[in-house]
Structure 1
Amino acid sequence: MSRVLAVASGKGGTGKTSISVNLALGLGRLGRKVCLLDADLGLSNVDVLLGISPELTLEHVLFEGVPMEKAVVRVAPGLDVVPGGSGVSRLADLSRDLRSAMSAEFSKLSGYDYLVVDGSPGISSQVISLCLACPELLVVVNPDPSSITDAYALVKVLSENGLRRSPYLLVNKARSRDSAGEIFARVRGAMLKYLKLDARYLGHVPQDPHVSAAAARQRPLMELFPASGAGRAILGLAKNLDEARLPQGVDQADPASVMEGTLVRMRESSPFRSERSPSVQARRALDSAINMAGLLENPGRQDRAEVAARLKSLLVKARSVLDPGGLPLSSPPVKPQAVPVRVAVISSDTSIGDILSESLGAAGMAVNTDGGRADAAVVFWRGSRDVPERRLAELGNVRYVYVRSVASKEVPLFGRGPAEVMDMPFKLEDLAGAVRRCASGPK
Structure 2
Amino acid sequence: MIDQANKLREMIRKKAETEKKTKHQIKVYSIVSGKGGVGKTNFSVNLAIKFQQMGKRVLILDADIGMSNANILMGIETPRTLLDLLKDDLILKDIIAKGPYKVDLISGGADLFYLEKLDDKKQHEILSNLAELDEYDILIIDNGAGISKQSLTFTILADEIILVTTPEPTALTDAYRVLKAVSTYELKNKIKVVINQVPDMDTGDYAYNKLFKTSEQFLKIDLEKLGYIFSDIRVNKAIMEQLPITIINPNALASTNISQIAEAILGDKEYNYNVSNLKQFKNKLIRLFG
Give distance in 2, aligned partners of 1:64 and 1:204: 45
**What SS is found at the alignment partner of 2:110?**
coil
Following TM superposition, by how much is the alpha carbon of 1:248 offset from its aligned partner in structure 2, in angstroms?
11
Tell me which residue corresponds to 2:32.
8
**Quick one: which of 113, 131, 141 aligns to 1:107?**
131
C-alpha change, 1:189 and 1:259, in structure 2 (3 Å) is same
**Quick one: which of 282, 285, 290 aligns to 1:256?**
282
**What SS is found at the alignment partner of 2:59?**
strand
**Quick one: which of 197, 202, 206 aligns to 2:221?**
197
Q: Is the 8 A contact 1:165 1:247 kept in 2?
A: no
Tell me which residue corresponds to 1:208.
232
Gapped regions of structure 2 (runs ≥ 5): 1-24
Tell me which residue corresponds to 1:241.
265
Q: How does 1:424-435 map to 2 (within 5 A)?
A: none
Q: Is the 8 A contact 1:40 1:120 kept in 2?
A: yes
Give distance in 2, aligned partners of 1:220 and 1:25: 9
Q: Output the amino acid matched with 1:164.
A: K
Following TM superposition, by how much is the alpha carbon of 1:51 offset from its aligned partner in structure 2, in angstroms?
0.9
Q: Is the 8 A contact 1:103 1:259 kept in 2?
A: yes
Following TM superposition, by how much is the alpha carbon of 1:247 offset from its aligned partner in structure 2, in angstroms?
7.5
Tell me which residue corresponds to 1:137.
161
Following TM superposition, by how much is the alpha carbon of 1:245 offset from its aligned partner in structure 2, in angstroms?
2.9
Q: Output the amino acid matched with 2:95.
A: A
Q: Which has the higher helix share?
A: 2
Give distance in 2, aligned partners of 1:216 and 1:64: 36
Give distance in 2, aligned partners of 1:85 and 1:63: 16
Tell me which residue corresponds to 2:202.
178
Give distance in 2, aligned partners of 1:231 and 1:210: 10
Give distance in 2, aligned partners of 1:72 and 1:97: 22
C-alpha change, 1:247 and 1:109, in structure 2 (3 Å) is closer
Q: Is the 8 A contact 1:166 1:247 kept in 2?
A: no
Give distance in 2, aligned partners of 1:95 and 1:12: 33
CA shift digits 1:220-241 (9 cap, x unpaired): 1111111100011111111111
**Quick one: which of 152, 164, 180 aligns to 1:156?**
180
Q: Is the 8 A contact 1:37 1:117 kept in 2?
A: yes
**Quick one: which of 92, 97, 103 aligns to 2:121?**
97
Following TM superposition, by how much is the alpha carbon of 1:39 offset from its aligned partner in structure 2, in angstroms?
1.3
Following TM superposition, by how much is the alpha carbon of 1:108 offset from its aligned partner in structure 2, in angstroms?
1.7
Tell me which residue corresponds to 1:331.
none
Give distance in 1, aligned partners of 2:162 and 2:88: 30
Q: Output the amino acid matched with 1:161.
A: Y
Q: Is the 8 A contact 1:40 1:118 kept in 2?
A: yes
Q: Which sits farther off after the overlay, 59-68 or 88-97?
A: 59-68
Give distance in 1, aligned partners of 2:142 and 2:204: 22
Q: Is the 8 A contact 2:62 2:68 kept in 1?
A: yes
Q: Output the amino acid matched with 2:31.
A: V
Following TM superposition, by how much is the alpha carbon of 1:59 offset from its aligned partner in structure 2, in angstroms?
4.3
Percent of aligned pairs with the same amino acid = 27
1:223 and 2:250 aligned:
no
Following TM superposition, by how much is the alpha carbon of 1:26 offset from its aligned partner in structure 2, in angstroms?
0.6
Q: Output the amino acid matched with 1:259.
A: L
CA shift digits 1:250-291 (9 cap, x unpaired): 333434334334426xxxxxxxxxxxxxxxxxxxxxxxxxxx
TM-score normalised by structure 1 residue count: 0.56
Q: Output the amino acid matched with 1:181.
A: D
How many aligned residue pairs are there? 264
Question: Once superposed, what is the RMSD of the aligned Cα atoms?
Answer: 2.2
Gapped regions of structure 1 (runs ≥ 5): 265-443
Give distance in 1, aligned partners of 2:39 and 2:114: 27
**Quick one: which of 256, 276, 281 aligns to 1:232?**
256
**Quick one: which of 19, 36, 41 aligns to 2:43?**
19
Q: Is the 8 A contact 2:82 2:126 kept in 1?
A: no
Q: Is the 8 A contact 1:133 1:261 kept in 2?
A: no
Tell me which residue corresponds to 2:94.
70
C-alpha change, 1:66 and 1:149, in structure 2 (3 Å) is farther
Q: Is the 8 A contact 1:46 1:84 kept in 2?
A: no
From the CA coordinates, give the structure whose radius of gyration is larger: 1
TM-score normalised by structure 2 residue count: 0.84
Give distance in 1, aligned partners of 2:44 and 2:87: 25
1:86 and 2:110 aligned:
yes
Q: Output the amino acid matched with 1:39.
A: A
Following TM superposition, by how much is the alpha carbon of 1:20 offset from its aligned partner in structure 2, in angstroms?
0.3
Q: Is the 8 A contact 1:214 1:220 kept in 2?
A: yes
C-alpha change, 1:207 and 1:170, in structure 2 (3 Å) is same
Q: Output the amino acid matched with 1:241.
A: I
1:38 and 2:38 aligned:
no
Following TM superposition, by how much is the alpha carbon of 1:19 offset from its aligned partner in structure 2, in angstroms?
0.3
C-alpha change, 1:198 and 1:43, in structure 2 (3 Å) is same
